Amino acid sequence: MTTALIILAAGKGTRMNSDLPKVLHPLAGAPLLVHAMQTGASLEPTHSVVVAGHGAEMVRKAALTHDETAVVVEQTEQLGTGHATAQARAALADFDGTAIVIFGDTPFVRSETLAAMVEAQSSNDLVVLGFEAADPGRYGRLVVQDDQLERIVEFKDASEAERGITLCNSGVVACNANLLFKLIDAVGNDNAAGEYYLTDIVGIARARDLSATVVTCAESETLGINTRAELASAEAAFQSNARARAVDDGVTLPAPETVHFAFDTVIGRDTIVEPNVVFGPGVTVESGATIRAFSHLEGCHVARGAIIGPYARLRPGAELSENTRVGNFVEIKNAQIGEGSKVNHLSYIGDAVLGAQTNIGAGTITCNYDGVMKHRTEIGDNVFIGSNTMLVAPVHIGDGAMTGSGSVITSDVEANALAIARAPQVEKPGTAAKLIQILKAKKAKLQRGS
């Protein structure tokens, strides 16, 4: 069955007290909107339509950065969820499959839940996602009779008996696209807010003798983010779930509560992740690696048997081969580190390629930026770079070569050569003592003057 995704992302999010649109606030390294888009993408929809409103250009940029095939439409006036959904009509004019309406500020709905809704829609005209609430509070209630959803009743309009219902409305719906827009056309705005509510389509559908049913999910899936406190709670929930999944997948976390995952972190079995490690977006760690304490990784790939840290930073484009070593206070950016190579301490390797079994001494820097452009450093196999070497790119170091400690290398070094590029040491006997006396005299004169 073909599907289309309609993501409602037009809300201002006043309670966030922010200039940023609510759906762009980050959760696990990605905007809330991206979480919704990623879940929806699991259905392999033929169309993904994002309905933007407040901060539409920012929302558009985030949506297209994540999925360049998405269509972003704008709700210029915020007149309710029904009105927002109607803005997707033109984008789906030629579509006749199942449309699923989800929310950009509800990041935890599972792909399995959306798949169940699509399956249910194959034998029902309209499907609504509901949940059994521990405390129904002011949620809308789902009134079901004989396995058919009859109507959705808002709390303020509910009778005492209806308020006793614990099956609540999440707002997520699935319906044939053409039928969905026909039902929305019949929705009125005769309510206190003067808005067009998507929930009204259930009563309209039943009045037309169309079938409606409910698919249920855990209440935790329907968590919407409206305040920064709720965002913090969502982050805690995400991290707790991510840690549990990692452990179940065979990852060792000695102090799991201190490890921070991104929305797309991938870690292989038998990897050890020590305390206080942060994974930014775009990290893949293969099986059997070790990530030592206080390391930060983003946009990188770590192969089997590698040991990272402690206190290491891997930035986007870092590609570490098997059995590599990246030690304390080392930063790697947009660089390939060959199999078995070591960058053990106090070094920066950026815009570079290192061969296999190469050793980088402490304090080494690839000087990759000239103030305007970035340049590459190429280091071959079995190279030994002496401590405190500056490699001024573009530069090539051949296989088996060495550099002397404290060298500033500005030219290519041929294979198996030793390159030493430092000023000769000059010694002036007795000058140190004379200099100290001069400095002490100056200090005393300044003190007398004060």
The residues near 91 (Cβ < 8 Å, ≥ 6 apart) are 47, 49, 71, 73
DSSP bridge pairs for 2: none
Q: Is 345 a catalytic residue?
A: yes
Please enumerate, as own/partner, the contacts of 150-154 that have beta carbons within 8 Å and a separation of 24 or more: 150/202, 150/203, 150/206, 150/212, 151/202, 151/203, 151/206, 152/128, 152/199, 152/200, 152/202, 152/203, 154/199
Kind and range of the H or E run holding 433? helix 431-449
Which residue out of 296, 301, 345, 396 is catalytically annotated? Answer: 345
The two tokens of residue 282 are 């775009």
Using an 8 Å Cβ cutoff, are 5 and 175 in contact? no
Using an 8 Å Cβ cutoff, are 76 and 156 in contact? no
Using an 8 Å Cβ cutoff, are 293 and 276 in contact? yes
The two tokens of residue 227 are 């305040």
Nearest to 10 by CA among 92, 91, 76, 70: 76
Using an 8 Å Cβ cutoff, are 32 and 105 in contact? yes
Radius of gyration of the chain, Cα coordinates, nearest whole angstrom? 30
- DSSP 8-state symbol, 40: H
- Distance from the first to the final alpha carbon of the chain: 88
Using an 8 Å Cβ cutoff, are 261 and 283 in contact? no
What is the rounded CA–CA span in Å between residue 425 and residue 205?
90
Which burial class, exposed, middle or buried, applies to 406 when counting CB atoms under 10 A from its CB (0-12, 13-18, 19+)?
middle
Nearest to 152 by CA among 315, 162, 161: 162
Kind and range of the H or E run holding 442? helix 431-449
What is the rounded CA–CA span in Å between residue 354 and residue 11?
49
- Dihedral of CA 329/330/334/337: which sign? negative
Nearest to 211 by CA among 130, 121, 131, 136: 121
Q: What positions carry a catalytic annotation?
A: 345
